[in-house]
Amino acid sequence: MSDPFVIIGGDAAGLSAASKFARENPDGDVVVFERGRWISYAHCGTPYYVKGEVDRLTDLLSLSPEAAEERGIDLRREHEVVAIDTDAQTVTVESSGDGESFEQPYGNLLVGTGAHAITDPIPGSRRDMAFTMHGLDSAAAVRAALSPSDEAAVDTDIEYVDADLVEKYADREPPERVAVVGGGYVGIEMAEAFHAHGLETHLFQRSSHLLPPFGEAVGERVADHLRERGIELHLDTAVSELAGGDSVETVVHEDGRVSVGLALVGVGIEPNTDLLSETPVELGESGAVAVDEYGRTTAENVYAAGDCAEDRHAVTGEPTWVPLGLTANRAGRAIGQTVASDPEPVGDVAGTAVVKALELECGRVGFVGDESARDAGFEPVTTTITAGSRSGYYPGGDETTVTLTADRGTGRLLGGAIVGRDRAAIRIDTLSTALESNLTVAELERLDLAYAPPFSPVWDPVLVAAKVLRGELD
Amino acid sequence: MSDPFVIIGGDAAGLSAASKFARENPDGDVVVFERGRWISYAHCGTPYYVKGEVDRLTDLLSLSPEAAEERGIDLRREHEVVAIDTDAQTVTVESSGDGESFEQPYGNLLVGTGAHAITDPIPGSRRDMAFTMHGLDSAAAVRAALSPSDEAAVDTDIEYVDADLVEKYADREPPERVAVVGGGYVGIEMAEAFHAHGLETHLFQRSSHLLPPFGEAVGERVADHLRERGIELHLDTAVSELAGGDSVETVVHEDGRVSVGLALVGVGIEPNTDLLSETPVELGESGAVAVDEYGRTTAENVYAAGDCAEDRHAVTGEPTWVPLGLTANRAGRAIGQTVASDPEPVGDVAGTAVVKALELECGRVGFVGDESARDAGFEPVTTTITAGSRSGYYPGGDETTVTLTADRGTGRLLGGAIVGRDRAAIRIDTLSTALESNLTVAELERLDLAYAPPFSPVWDPVLVAAKVLRGELD
């Protein structure tokens, strides 16, 4: 009998791979080692759990351990892989339950170790009442910290919640003023969550715009909207310390200090690759694991996928690191298929991302704005337009702002961003599809897109932007 | 001085062409002859005017006569072109104002005569209180007929409304029970409008499904929804007569009779081509004017665009007739550019269409279902799936039904349809873009589409459908 398919990490990439493998090769063995208690959870849902729109942590689980077992997956939670021997084709596993350690041979190995939130650049980020949003336990802790001490917002009877952590925060009175450090996805989503709890919310962003990968037009509209709704923005403001005693008490920044009862740090994530440092598995320039179009690393029979791995960019064909949910699921599934039977490419990434900022919907894809496109070797031209989301006479529409970037030499679309209240985010899929199909701006302009007064004007905002940009390319 | 660019018809195609021409060639002359009083109005908005969501008829005007003149367009309303001499390059024009007739030479000619609603298959369709929805005057008449006689719902002081027609209906008490004949776009939209007025609404459809071009899955969901909301559906029911005296009193159908006070006939439209019968301008198999990729007809210096003309289908490359708003605007604009300066293709059509059915959003593109695809020469495979529009744990989503059709031999996407309550219609643009980019189902499955809990699950319903269809293609 051959050695099993061994998977390190029981989240999106790992369990997608295990599920696909088990379905395609029911006689094969697949073992998943997960160092924590949670598996397969929707990281992107945690801000909405904190906000209260999602009732229970378990609502965020895509797959229960029981369901994984039913699929034929040998799932070992609280089992940490601490070493990989790519010559012997074994991994060393430590069980945090019984403290025992053992060697596990593998036929194929998938590294799906994910990523972790960066905190260290901000001194004091490890104080009590300072949090990152990376994992369900931290989400539970933040929700507990926001809830009145006589209200059990978090059900510690749920099997795997870290009850000690939750209870530590559940007994406190909730803060009145909070800080969010970082104006990316997590920062914006958490600011929305805190604002929904009625807290005085201060958002600190080091650079001059929120959501930098979405370009300036989106950043400015989101900033205006957040301010209108009463969120205090501190742009161009680097936080130097989260000061206090045991708990965070003060955000110290270059222009002053703000007293807060809670701080959420969302300044980015890093791939978990420490485990690979003693192996021949190479990392790419991004610091994530280098892989080919089938998710294969530089070591034989070793694959990597999800937030720890690079992808190939749809526009440049070059490696890139875009740690998001769909690509993790998709790459895992493709690798499960490849290991089980026929090779299946993991697919390129276009850098598609969408985020909700209170009432605003934001989307982006590819290279947005001249700077990033120039860095990628193009001669970019960028335009930004604003157009209605519906026919002007039809109620309920909103001004939709579209930024498009194209290459002057070839006329090829390089990227774009969209923001507005009415069906703005989902419109980015038009641009993603166009980008992955290598359309020029002239071809984009001639697309036969939907028109009906309740949903879109005759010229969809995407078409208006293409029309204007094409004029600038000529 | 050269002869002017003459345009027949002052609606979407004609005025788009005139505007673009005037902008690109400010020294050139452009004359638009419009036989009616209205120009450049949003036909697709008329059901919402009847419904009451749009207040005034003039809200539906895209361009006022004054604004057209300001753009440098010589606009002649109430001027009907009654003959074309392609040898002499002249048109014969009759003015309904002063009854005079004259010859107008042209350098280039655009035929943008539009289409008219079919009524004749239903005897009695010309009785009072029987209407089609093709033109602002009929919209005004229907709205007047629905409003209490002491309420002036239609402002007859508006410059060009047919005051006699409106007043004829404004004096009547509104009906309590109404019939809609035809279950296409217009029928569905008008049923929504009547239902919103609290009327007992009967919808008659000759075939077994509503919205046939959207496929059975959409038709069935729309039918269920309309029934739930209290609209009485008569499927598989051909109407043989709208009986009565001066006014419609009874819908006579094969299985019985229904007494009604108003009937709306929406059984399709036909291109206006009578003017061309004595000319060498050829019609295509569809009955609309045959054109090449620049909108040129078979007669020299004669173009055609909009509802009277064919287009080239993006999937087959063959002529097709899809009389919709975007393509009329786009083709007109391209022809304006071609006549003024550089040749610009009018663009292919993918058959993209979206329609609102009360709370449901419906979209379609290309060939939906095996029958139409087989007729076009493909070996089709079709699948229908239902998946959530948002992450399952996030509130406000809806089950989204997606039908995809592909060609077995090549794996190429041929078409699709989508229905659901939550951002369903606009998702058709993903499929339109994929279709016009000639993507295979495997390529569609690997697209990097948007994912964020409020807007889309990890696997967008479009991706779920692609995944399932690909399995069926293998």
Closest CA to B312 of B355, B354, B350: B350
Residue B119 above 90 pLDDT? Answer: no
Q: Which residues on adjacent β-strands are paired with residue B415?
A: B366, B405
Of B44, B349, B392, Cβ closest to residue A452: B44
Query: Under a CB-based contact definition with an 8 Å cutoff, are residues A182 and A173 in contact?
Result: no
At A276, which amino acid appears?
L
- What is the C-alpha to C-alpha distance for residues A323 and A134, in angstroms, rounded to an integer? 13
CB contact under 8 A, A426 and B425: no
Q: What angle do CA B213, B214, B220 make, to 5 degrees?
A: 120
- What is the C-alpha to C-alpha distance for residues A251 and A243, in angstroms, rounded to an integer? 6
Please list every residue in chain B whose beta carbon sits closer than 8 Å to the beta carbon of residue A59. 392-393
Q: What pLDDT does residue A152 have? A: 67
Identify the helix (H) or strand (E) that includes residue B463.
helix B461-473
Buried b (16+ CB within 10 A) or exposed e, A268-303: ebbbbbebbeebebebbebebbbbeebbbbbbebbb
- What is the C-alpha to C-alpha distance for residues A447 and A51, in angstroms, rounded to an integer? 39
Who's near B157: CB < 8 A, 6+ residues apart? none
Query: Under a CB-based contact definition with an 8 Å cutoff, are residues A449 and A394 in contact?
Result: no
CB contact under 8 A, B455 and A44: no
Q: What pLDDT does residue A98 have? A: 86
DSSP SS3 for B19: helix
Residue A41: pLDDT band with limits 50, 70, 90: confident
Q: What is the mean pLDDT of residues B418-433?
A: 98
What length does chain A have? Answer: 474
Q: What pLDDT does residue B185 have? A: 93
Q: Where are the beta strands (DSSP E) in B324-446?
A: 353-357, 360-366, 380-388, 399-407, 413-420
- What is the C-alpha to C-alpha distance for residues B32 and B15, in angstroms, rounded to an integer? 8
CB contact under 8 A, B325 and A430: no
Residue A363 above 90 pLDDT? Answer: yes
Of A345, A393, A427, Cβ closest to residue B54: A393
Of B48, B314, B447, Cβ closest to residue A394: B48
CB count within 10 Å of CB A368 equals 26
Q: Token pair for residue B52?
A: 């009451």
Residue B153 above 90 pLDDT? Answer: no
Total CB pairs under 8 A between chain A and B: 201
What is the maximum span of chain B, computed from C-alpha positions, in angstroms?
Answer: 70
CB contact under 8 A, A448 and B350: yes
- A interface mutation test: which of B429, B431, B439, B441 has the most A CBs within 10 A? B429
Please list every residue in chain A whose beta carbon sits closer than 8 Å to the beta carbon of residue B330. 446
Q: Token pair for residue B346?
A: 């009018």
- Specify whether the backbone of A295 is left (phi greater than 0), alpha (psi in -120 to 50) or beta: left
Closest CA to B365 of B317, B421, B311, B427: B427
Q: What pLDDT does residue B354 have? A: 98
CB contact under 8 A, A349 and B448: yes
Mean pLDDT of chain A: 95
- What is the C-alpha to C-alpha distance for residues A259 and B143, in angstroms, rounded to an integer? 61
Closest approach of B394 to chain A, Cα-based (Å): 6
Query: Under a CB-based contact definition with an 8 Å cutoff, are residues A351 and A215 in contact?
Result: no
Q: Token pair for residue A462?
A: 């995407």
CB count within 10 Å of CB A312 equals 17
CB contact under 8 A, B446 and A330: yes
CB contact under 8 A, B429 and A439: no
Q: What is the mean pLDDT of residues A101-116?
A: 97
Residue B1 above 90 pLDDT? Answer: no
Please list every residue in chain A whose beta carbon sits closer than 8 Å to the beta carbon of residue B429. 427, 429-430, 447, 449-450, 460, 462
Residue A403: pLDDT band with limits 50, 70, 90: very high
Q: How far apart are the first and last CA of chain A?
A: 64
- A interface mutation test: which of B59, B433, B437, B474 has the most A CBs within 10 A? B433
Q: What pLDDT does residue A345 have? A: 96
Of A391, A449, A462, Cβ closest to residue B352: A449
Residue A307 above 90 pLDDT? Answer: yes
Q: What pLDDT does residue B344 have? A: 96
Active site includes B308?
A: no
Please list every residue in chain A whose beta carbon sits closer than 8 Å to the beta carbon of residue B352. 448-451
Residue B374 above 70 pLDDT? Answer: yes
Out of A3, A24, A25, A44, which one is annotated catalytic? A44
Please list every residue in chain A whose beta carbon sits closer than 8 Å to the beta carbon of residue B363. 450
Q: Which of A246-255, A380-389, B91-100, B155-164 has the lowest mean pLDDT?
A: B155-164
Residue A2 buriedness (CB in 10 A; 0-12 / 13-18 / 19+): exposed
Please list every residue in chain A whose beta carbon sits closer than 8 Å to the beta carbon of residue B454. 48, 356, 361
Q: What is the pLDDT of residues A123-138, one digit of tens each?
A: 999 999 999 988 888 9
Closest approach of B353 to chain A, Cα-based (Å): 6
Q: What is the pLDDT of residues B262-275, one digit of tens each?
A: 999 999 999 999 99
Q: What is the pLDDT of residues A415-469, one digit of tens each?
A: 999 999 999 999 999 999 999 999 999 999 999 999 999 999 999 999 999 999 9
CB contact under 8 A, A434 and B433: yes
Q: What is the mean pLDDT of residues A337-359?
A: 97
DSSP SS3 for B41: strand
Q: What is the pLDDT of residues B138-150, one digit of tens each?
A: 999 999 999 887 6
Of B329, B330, B447, Cβ closest to residue A432: B447
CB contact under 8 A, A348 and B446: yes
- SS3 per residue for chain A: CCCCEEEECCCHHHHHHHHHHHHHCCCCCEEEEECCCCCCECHHHHHHHHHCCCCCHHHHECCCHHHHHHCCCEEEECEEEEEEECCCCEEEEEECCCCCEEEEECCEEEECCCEEECCCCCCCCCCECEECCCCHHHHHHHHHHHCCCCCCCCCCCCCCCCHHHHHHHHCCCCCCEEEEECCCHHHHHHHHHHHHCCCEEEEECCCCCCCHHHHHHHHHHHHHHHHHCCCEEECCCCEEEEEECCEEEEEEECCEEEECCEEEECCCEEECCHHHCCCCCCECCCCCECCCCCCECCCCCEEECHHHECEEECCCCCEECCCCHHHHHHHHHHHHHHHHCCCCCCCCECCCEEEEECCEEEEEEECCCHHHHHHCCCCEEEEEEEEECCCCCCCCCCEEEEEEEEECCCCEEEEEEEEECCCCHHHHHHHHHHHHCCCEHHHHHCCCCCCECCCECCCCHHHHHHHHHHHHHC
Q: What pLDDT does residue B24 have? A: 96
At A466, which amino acid appears?
A
Phi, psi of B249 (to 5 degrees): -125, -30
Find the closest chain A residue to B313 by CA distance: A448
Q: What pLDDT does residue A322 have? A: 95
Residue B355 buriedness (CB in 10 A; 0-12 / 13-18 / 19+): buried
- What is the C-alpha to C-alpha distance for residues A182 and A267, in angstroms, rounded to an integer? 5
- What is the C-alpha to C-alpha distance for residues A379 and A204, in angstroms, rounded to an integer? 33
Q: What pLDDT does residue A120 have? A: 75
Residue A1 above 70 pLDDT? Answer: no
Please list every residue in chain A whose beta carbon sits closer than 8 Å to the beta carbon of residue B325. 451, 458
- What is the C-alpha to C-alpha distance for residues A158 and B445, in angstroms, rounded to an integer? 36
At B239, which amino acid appears?
V
Out of B3, B23, B44, B123, which one is annotated catalytic? B44
CB contact under 8 A, B434 and A437: yes
- A interface mutation test: which of B64, B367, B393, B428 has the most A CBs within 10 A? B393
Please list every residue in chain A whose beta carbon sits closer than 8 Å to the beta carbon of residue B439. 433, 437
Q: What pLDDT does residue B212 have? A: 97
At B114, which amino acid appears?
G
- Domains in chain A, please, with CATH? 5-36+78-114+270-340 (3.50.50.60), 130-267 (3.50.50.60), 359-473 (3.50.50.60)
Find the closest chain A residue to B59 by CA distance: A393
Of A348, A425, A453, Cβ closest to residue B455: A425
Q: What pLDDT does residue B159 have? A: 65
- What is the C-alpha to C-alpha distance for residues B89 and B112, in angstroms, rounded to an integer? 17
CB contact under 8 A, A449 and B436: no
- B interface mutation test: which of A11, A322, A426 has the most B CBs within 10 A? A426
DSSP SS3 for B285: coil
- What is the C-alpha to C-alpha distance for residues A458 and A453, in angstroms, rounded to an integer? 8
Q: For residue A362, what are the CA distances in angstroms to A226, A380, A413, B168, B396?
A: 13, 22, 19, 50, 18
Query: Under a CB-based contact definition with an 8 Å cutoff, are residues A276 and A288 in contact?
Result: no
At A337, which amino acid appears?
Q
The half-sphere exposure of A293 on its side-chain side, counting CA atoms within 13 A, is 10
Who's near B234: CB < 8 A, 6+ residues apart? B202, B203, B204, B205, B253, B255
Q: What is the mean pLDDT of residues B321-327?
A: 94
Residue B134: pLDDT band with limits 50, 70, 90: confident
Q: What is the 8-class DSSP label of residue B43?
A: G
Q: What is the pLDDT of residues A198-215, one digit of tens each?
A: 999 999 999 999 999 999
Please list every residue in chain B whose beta carbon sits closer than 8 Å to the beta carbon of residue A417. none
Q: What is the mean pLDDT of residues B116-131?
A: 91
- What is the C-alpha to C-alpha distance for residues A82 and A80, in angstroms, rounded to an integer? 6
Find the closest chain A residue to B437 by CA distance: A437
Please list every residue in chain A whose beta carbon sits closer than 8 Å to the beta carbon of residue B324. 451
Closest CA to A457 of A393, A405, A414: A393
Of A329, A394, A429, Cβ closest to residue B430: A429
Closest approach of A89 to chain B, Cα-based (Å): 31
Query: Under a CB-based contact definition with an 8 Å cutoff, are residues A380 and A406 in contact?
Result: yes
Please list every residue in chain A whose beta carbon sits closer than 8 Å to the beta carbon of residue B450. 352-354, 363, 425-426, 428-429, 432
Q: What is the mean pLDDT of residues A65-83?
A: 95
- What is the C-alpha to C-alpha distance for residues B464 and B458, in angstroms, rounded to an integer? 10
Find the closest chain B residue to A46 by CA distance: B453
Of A326, A345, A452, Cβ closest to residue B425: A452
Q: What pLDDT does residue A123 have? A: 94
Buried b (16+ CB within 10 A) or exposed e, B156-186: eeeebbbbebbeebbebebbebbbbbbbbbb
Helix B163-170 and helix B136-146, axial crossing angle in degrees, nearest 10: 20
- What is the C-alpha to C-alpha distance for residues B172 and B179, in angstroms, rounded to an integer? 17
Q: What is the pLDDT of residues B160-196, one digit of tens each?
A: 788 888 888 988 889 999 999 999 999 999 999 999 9
Pairing of strands B101-105, B90-95: antiparallel
Who's near B371: CB < 8 A, 6+ residues apart? none
CA torsion sign for A133, A138, A140, A145 is negative
- pTM of the predicted model, to two decimals? 0.96
